[in-house]
Amino acid sequence: MKPQQEHSRFFVTVCVIGAKQRCKGCGKPVPRWRGIKGVELSAEEIWEVYNMNSHKFFFSFLRSAGMHVTKQDKIVHLTSLRSVGKRVKFVFIIKG
């Protein structure tokens, strides 16, 4: 019996910090941590994000993770990429 070939999917945690946003009701700045979301991506998608080959892909990736990004936001730095088994952690800093 041959083992089944599975398409690798990885659970990715996205942490976005550094964007300037204000609370809609009170006008106070929100905490620097904008959010932590989990999404599932293929190895190819992770490689694409890691290499930053496409800013368009990167922003669509953040939107799919539930992050609010605008055209004013910029990628400043990819601070870390850690992998433990099938869990990959990206930490992005975005300056708005």
Q: What is the pLDDT of residue 50?
A: 59
Q: What is the pLDDT of residue 19?
A: 47
Amino acid letter for position 82 = R
Going from the C-alpha of 40 to that of each of 9, 26, 83, 89, the distances in angstroms are: 6, 34, 14, 12
Length of the chain as a residue count: 96
- The pLDDT of 84-94, averaged and rounded, is 55
- In whole angstroms, what separates CA 11 from the centre of its chain? 11
- Average per-residue pLDDT in the chain? 57
CA distance 39 to 14: 8
- Please state the pTM of the whole predicted model: 0.34
- pLDDT tens across 67-87, in order? 666 666 655 544 444 555 555
